[in-house]
Amino acid sequence: MSATSATHRTLAALLVAGALVGAAALPAAADDHRGDHRRDHRSSHSSLAIGDVQNDGRGQGSRRQGSRALNTEWIEVRNTGRHSVDLDGYTLTDQQGNRYRFRDFRLEGRSSVKVHTGQGRDSRHDLYQNRRHQIWDERDTATLRDNRGNVVDTESWGRRGHHQSR
């Protein structure tokens, strides 16, 4: 056997082995790609959370009136991810069933928005429910749901178990 034919056989064997390894790795790479896509889809939800809460902590049961007073009461929604999230159709509710529905609002990555109870002009950082009475009580729970009704995050205050996430 000549050195050339031995080299050709060795090279052919290496090429076949490489092709077999590549063929076996292809489905695994495709599975990884699908997994990444699913992870990216979920990441928009996992990057959203209820942040700070400012309620009327007086606990007197009074329903303060006036936009200025009502605007000191708010719930913050944070996007900790890099990508913006379309919040159109998402809702923010309290224990009594009061509901605020986000309309045509995109929360940029690594930013937050305060949802105020009272009246005002919506901006990138402040949204207004246009209510005339306080809704967030001294003891309450805020729930953020996506546009399909799935719970994204909850925040409770005024009792044990302060924060319950997802």
Of the candidate ranges 20-29, 43-52, 90-99, the one whose mean pLDDT is the lowest: 20-29
Give pLDDT, residue 155.
Answer: 97
The DSSP output letter for 80 is -
E strand segments, 17-129: 48-54, 74-79, 85-86, 91-93, 99-101, 106-107, 111-116, 126-128
CA–CA gap between residue 100 and residue 166 (Å, rounded): 19
CA–CA gap between residue 58 and residue 16 (Å, rounded): 77
> Which residues are bridge partners to 111 per DSSP?
79
pLDDT in tens, 30-89: 444 333 333 333 345 689 999 999 986 554 444 445 667 899 999 999 999 999 999 999
Q: Is the pLDDT of residue 26 over 50?
A: no
DSSP string, 24-38: HHHHHHHHHHHHHHH
Pick the more confident residue, 127 or 40.
127
Task: Note the CATH number of domain 48-164.
Answer: 2.60.40.1260
Percent of the chain exceeding pLDDT 70 equals: 63
Residue 126 one-letter amino acid: D
* φ, ψ of residue 42 in degrees (nearest 5): -70, -30
Mean pLDDT of the chain: 79
First to last CA, the chain: 70
